[in-house]
């Protein structure tokens, strides 16, 4: 074989090796990313669903709360969890559209379930409202369709705080709003807030 033919053969072999190396690299990069690799959402996927770091959409597009989160439970079930956690809670009313005096149950932007409870540490003496279900007697739990609805409700209740008869403690986790009697010491009220963070 002549020197020229030998050089051409070596050159072709080197080119084939380089081509194979590039193909292998390209194939491996299209596979499953390793831990710590950022993955762009697939075409047609819904932002905010199953993707960390992306805020969920608001309104009717928000998926129901998954099992194991407070929004997956009814207000009545959450009151039971408060009681079972050791708080001196007695469930009193599970509201229906008939008994809900605020007429928010089931309405757009309103809660989808609501339940009231009495706290055994609250004295009825001097309370502005001692009617059944009054937050002054202990509190209530309101569960909404979305966290945004719960936050909007909290903002409304906070805005009513200039009226001494309507002041109360409020705590939000996800789509759940916990309202607690202002008759309780703040340390007791914060105990409710801490337990809410562990419910679900």
Residues with Cβ within 8 Å of 150's Cβ and at least 6 positions away in sequence, in order, are 142, 144, 172, 174, 175, 176, 177
163: buried, middle or exposed (CB in 10 Å: 19+, 13-18, 0-12)? Answer: exposed
Residue 49 — pLDDT band, cuts 50, 70, 90? very low
* Cβ–Cβ < 8 Å for 181, 138: yes
pLDDT higher for 133 or 6? 133
The pLDDT value given to residue 11: 52
The C-alpha torsion from 38 through 40 and 41 to 43, rounded to 10°, is: -160
* 42-46, 151-155, 190-194, range with the lowest pLDDT: 42-46
**What is the rounded (10 degree) CA torsion for 8, 14, 16, 19?**
-140
- At residue 71 the predicted structure's pLDDT band, cuts being 50, 70 and 90, is low
CB 99 within 8 A of CB 131: no
Name the band, by pLDDT with cuts 50, 70 and 90, for residue 52.
Answer: very low
What does the pLDDT look like over 108-123, one tens digit per residue?
999 999 999 999 999 9
State the pLDDT at residue 162: 86
The DSSP result for 115-140, as a single string, is: EEEEETT---TT-S--STT-GGGEEE
Write down the domain spans for the chain: 68-196
Q: What mean pLDDT value characterizes the chain? A: 75
| pLDDT at residue 134, rounded to an integer | 96
Alpha helices in the chain (DSSP H): 3-29, 75-84, 147-159, 186-196
pTM of this structure: 0.65
Mean pLDDT of 54-58: 30
Name the percent of the chain lying above pLDDT 90.
59
Tell the residue number behind the tokens 């596979």, with chain if given.
31
């Amino acid at each position: 074989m002549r020197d020229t033919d030998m050089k051409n053969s070596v050159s072709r072999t080197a080119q084939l090796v380089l081509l194979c190396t590039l193909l292998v690299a390209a194939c491996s990069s299209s596979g499953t990313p390793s831990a710590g690799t950022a993955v762009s959402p697939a075409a047609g996927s819904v932002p905010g669903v199953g993707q960390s770091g992306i805020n969920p959409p608001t309104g009717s597009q928000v998926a129901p709360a998954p099992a194991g989160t407070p929004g997956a439970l009814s207000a009545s079930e959450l009151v039971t969890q408060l009681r079972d956690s050791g708080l001196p809670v007695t469930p009193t009313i599970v509201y229906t559209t008939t008994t809900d005096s605020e007429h928010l149950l089931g309405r757009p932007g309103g809660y989808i379930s609501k339940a009231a409870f009495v706290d055994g540490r609250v004295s009825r003496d001097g309370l502005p409202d001692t009617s059944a279900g009054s937050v002054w007697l202990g509190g209530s739990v309101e569960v909404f369709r979305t966290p945004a609805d719960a936050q909007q409700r909290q903002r409304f209740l906070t805005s009513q705080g200039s009226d001494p008869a309507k002041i109360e403690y409020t705590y939000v986790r996800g789509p759940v709003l916990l309202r607690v009697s202002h008759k309780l010491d703040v340390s007791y009220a914060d105990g409710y807030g801490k337990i809410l963070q562990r419910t679900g």
